[in-house]
Structure 1
Amino acid sequence: MTLSHRAAPPHAAVLLSSQLVFNLGFYAVVPFLAVVMRDDLGLGALAIGLVLGARTFSQQGLFLLGGMLADRFGPRTLIAAGCVVRVSGYLGLALAADLAGFLVGAILTGLGGALFSPALQSLVAAADARGRATRRSGRPSLFAALVLVGEIGAAVGPLAGAALLGLGFSATVLVGAALFAAVGVALWCVIPADAGRAVVASPMGSAPVAGADP
């Protein structure tokens, strides 16, 4: 494994906080899609499965492409682009009134994650490599911390979403969109333009971290 980057990645706390907010914004919305499509739109199991499957494929199926684009254009650009696409998808879900609207919104939601998640992980890889020499023996890696905060977000997100559903699904989605927009702008401001390009070269490529779904 080799390290090659021209600018230091943001502080680890910034990256971990971003992952936490990303998971909060994701799990406050996506787990409730099936319920909303069934109860509010009266869609059947086949239509709901189509929407959820399209979202999953557009994200998990395109992770490799997102990693390649992050290596080519840099994590800063891909995170910003991913947040824009995710916000667009959330706005589409907030306005959706039929199957087509939910399908488009779900695909954009997944595509946004496919863009920003590998880019964020590449910055974590760079930060972890920089701190490896000074890390005390037995201290968990930054990737372990990334998974931990991601799981916290995955646990708290549905609780927040359930509370917000009292205001309506559209309001819940708009809150999620605001979270992604805020983090996207913040990371654009703190990530150097050339930070993290090709930060880690390994035979495994830009593989996603287990449990980092958003």
Structure 2
Amino acid sequence: MTKPLPDHGDRHTVVVVVAIQAAISLGYFAAMAHVVLHLKVDLGLAAGLIGLVLALRNLVQHTLSLPVGALVDVLGPVRIGVLACLLRAAGFALLGTVSSLPWLVVAAVLLGTGGALFHPAAQSLLAGLAERRRARGYAAYTVTLQIAAVLGPALGLALLNVGYWLVGLTAAALWLGAAFLFALLRHGPPVRAVSGVVSGVRTVLRDRVFLGFAVVSTPAMLVTDQASVVVPLSGVDAGAVTVFVCVLAMVSAMVQPWCAVPGRADRPGVLRAGLLFAAAGHLLLAVGAGGALTGLVLVAALHGLADGLLQPAVFQTIARLAPPTRFGAYLGVQTFLSGLFAFAGGIAVGWSFDRGPGGATAALVVLALIACAAAACARPHPGQAIDARDAAQARLP
């Protein structure tokens, strides 16, 4: 089991990282909550091309996560975080102002590259804290994301009355503000890797316990991310999409105080429950429950539970298994595997929806089955088994 770093008084780090999360998430959800309708209605792209553009962003982001995670360990999260925000600001500016497919591809690449840099940078700052501070800090980080996920689509919907170009430029401005906030963090975690990127990735690939967890958790990204894609592709309007995203975010935020208890979120039962909630949400969509507002709210609540459990489950388990100087590399490998799977799945889902109602139903059922299969494979890792044994012995008279 990884021993946490000493608590070096990083309340300032938590406050600034949470402020960064507020800025970038508000911009991200304002733009991304309505991007499918923008690409479909404003630009007239087919569902397959929409799926390709969105999946390309995921592919770039999560493919680059493999080397970038280890790079954060070497160079430090602050400089990487500033660069990430600048790249994503450029990507959102393009997304709101271009209409040709080649430029949309450029925007997707910039957004994906910025995301590959941002997530290991921000999460490495939190992973470097002591366990109690780390659990509470990540909960605050996630709650802030979900609050922004409630406010962001509403902001985007208001700006959409002027045009999607304003949505994109507003998101870009918020990411520029986040770059400034990153610059306020002059000190990252006190311990950094001294060897290079290749060495960091090689260390992860030799860790069989972690690789087992990475494989089991790989479908989590696909089954949660596709919820925000399949709902607008199902034919609901912008108002219903906004309701869906907001309910999902509120439920996810409500779960975070429960996950903030140290040692709770990395239990395999939490990962398993999150996957099963996602499966139930996709099955309800498959039987047409999303056609009515009540059914759509229920689906959003199930996906909110899934999202609220899976995010801290993955983060806390990686923080538990990774050496303090290698969190970025471990996160990078897990994200790389998840991103490749999500890319392939996103392409398949978009293609299936182009085939008509039968194809859409089949795609939703397959997503549910994938989530169920992953949940069935979730098992305690050796460190958890030892902890459980020690706890049981401590209760003996």
Does structure 1 conserve the Cα–Cα contact (< 8 Å) formed by 2:13 and 2:125?
A: no
* Partner AA of 2:28 in structure 1: F
Structure 1 residue 170 and structure 2 residue 172: aligned? Answer: no
Match of 2:331 in 1: 206
Secondary structure in structure 2 of the residue aligned to 1:105: helix
**Greater share of helix residues, 1 or 2?**
2
* Partner AA of 2:17 in structure 1: L
Greater shift in the superposed pair: 144-153 or 20-29: 144-153
Structure 1 residue 15 and structure 2 residue 140: aligned? Answer: no
- Partners of 1:52 and 1:78 lie apart in 2 by 23
- Partners of 2:141 and 2:124 lie apart in 1 by 12
Structure 1 residue 96 and structure 2 residue 98: aligned? Answer: yes
Counterpart among 20, 26, 36 of residue 38 in structure 2: 36
- Partners of 1:8 and 1:62 lie apart in 2 by 32
Structure 1 residue 152 and structure 2 residue 147: aligned? Answer: yes
1:22-79 deviation digits (Å, cap 9, x = unpaired): 1111111012222111112211111111101111222234333332121121111100
Greater shift in the superposed pair: 65-74 or 75-84: 65-74
- Partners of 1:159 and 1:65 lie apart in 2 by 36
- Partners of 1:141 and 1:201 lie apart in 2 by 21
CA change 1:201–1:3 in 2 (3 A) is: farther
- Partners of 1:205 and 1:140 lie apart in 2 by 18
* Partner AA of 2:188 in structure 1: A
- Give the CA RMSD over aligned residues: 2.7
Structure 1 residue 63 and structure 2 residue 56: aligned? Answer: no
CA change 1:8–1:95 in 2 (3 A) is: farther
CA change 1:61–1:155 in 2 (3 A) is: farther
| Structure 1 ranges of 4+ moved more than 4 A | 2-5
Question: Which consecutive unaligned segments of at least 5 residues does structure 2 have?
Answer: 194-323, 336-397
CA change 1:66–1:151 in 2 (3 A) is: farther
Does structure 2 conserve the Cα–Cα contact (< 8 Å) formed by 1:3 and 1:201?
A: no
1:158-180 deviation digits (Å, cap 9, x = unpaired): 11111111121111111110000
- Partners of 2:79 and 2:50 lie apart in 1 by 33
Secondary structure in structure 1 of the residue aligned to 2:44: coil
Counterpart among 86, 103, 109 of residue 84 in structure 1: 86
- Partners of 2:67 and 2:150 lie apart in 1 by 28
Structure 1 residue 191 and structure 2 residue 316: aligned? Answer: no
CA change 1:70–1:158 in 2 (3 A) is: same
Greater shift in the superposed pair: 7-16 or 41-50: 7-16
Q: Percent identity?
A: 32
Question: Which consecutive unaligned segments of at least 5 residues does structure 1 have?
Answer: 210-214
* Partner AA of 2:330 in structure 1: G
Match of 1:53 in 2: 55
Greater shift in the superposed pair: 148-157 or 7-16: 7-16
- Partners of 2:100 and 2:61 lie apart in 1 by 22
Match of 1:118 in 2: 120
TM-score by length of 1: 0.81
Does structure 2 conserve the Cα–Cα contact (< 8 Å) formed by 1:38 and 1:44?
A: yes
